[in-house]
Amino acid sequence: MELRPFRAIHREPPYKERRPALWIDRQAFSESDGATPVVSILIGLVRLAEKEILLAPDGATAEAVAKRVGALVSAKADSEPCLLVTRAPLDAALSTSRPADDVFIDSSSVRHDLIRIPEYARHVELQGLVKNAEAELATGRELWDAARQFSTSPAAAKLPGAKFKLCAIVDERSVGQARRLPEALADILGFSFADAVY
């Protein structure tokens, strides 16, 4: 899997990163027994190469995919991440004492600490970690298929990021704790195909 950084565009206050980055979404769940399990998810761009990702059974209709492609063509941006499960040991690699850049609680009462990883050396390290590990698309087949179709459209020709899909990547050892990605994540991070990637 080829992993690339991306530029996030924060909604409030308006702020645009100067350099692409990878992000960690550290999710903390409050359980009824008082436990607070935590799972860290890596957010970045993944090249739209079907041979590198095991795809879930096709449940998306052609009409639904076409509608999403139309939205991508209109917006020239894609801020809805797919969820990938990797066999790479991501949990240890995403451990950090860096403070969160953004924090929010979603509608399921899950706390999200969003941590930006700006260092190129860390990007290379994480790329090497996930590059040769098996990965499977857990959710977002419709999003993945739409992004693939959009990447071959004339509208995508001048957009360097159109060959990639915004994805959230979780270690398979933590997948039981990972929940669906909330819409709020896309709203906070934002994303633009027009931004350059390494």
Q: Is the pLDDT of residue 188 over 70?
A: no
Specify the pLDDT at position 55.
85
Q: CA 94 to CA 164: how far, in whole Å?
A: 22
Q: Where are the domains of the chain?
A: 3-189
Length of the chain: 198
Nearest to 41 by CA among 131, 170, 177: 170
Q: Is the pLDDT of residue 183 over 90?
A: no
- Contact between residue 127 and residue 169 where contact means Cβ atoms under 8 Å apart: no
Predicted structure pTM score: 0.88
- Contact between residue 130 and residue 53 where contact means Cβ atoms under 8 Å apart: no
Q: Is the pLDDT of residue 133 over 60?
A: yes
Q: Which of 3-7, 14-18, 118-122 has the lowest mean pLDDT?
A: 14-18
Specify the pLDDT at position 60.
75
User: What does the pLDDT look like over 83-106, one tens digit per residue?
Assistant: 899 999 999 999 999 999 888 888
Nearest to 111 by CA among 3, 36, 17, 11: 36
Average pLDDT in the chain:
83
Confidence of residue 197 (pLDDT cuts 50, 70, 90): low
Share of the chain above pLDDT 90, in %: 36
Angle at 67 between CA 52 and CA 148, to 5 degrees: 20
User: Given the DSSP bridges, would you call strands 135-139 and 82-86 parallel, antiparallel or unpaired?
Assistant: antiparallel
- Contact between residue 78 and residue 147 where contact means Cβ atoms under 8 Å apart: yes
Specify the pLDDT at position 46.
93
Nearest to 197 by CA among 74, 22, 16: 22
Confidence of residue 44 (pLDDT cuts 50, 70, 90): very high
- Contact between residue 3 and residue 88 where contact means Cβ atoms under 8 Å apart: no
CA atoms within 13 A on the CB side of 92: 5
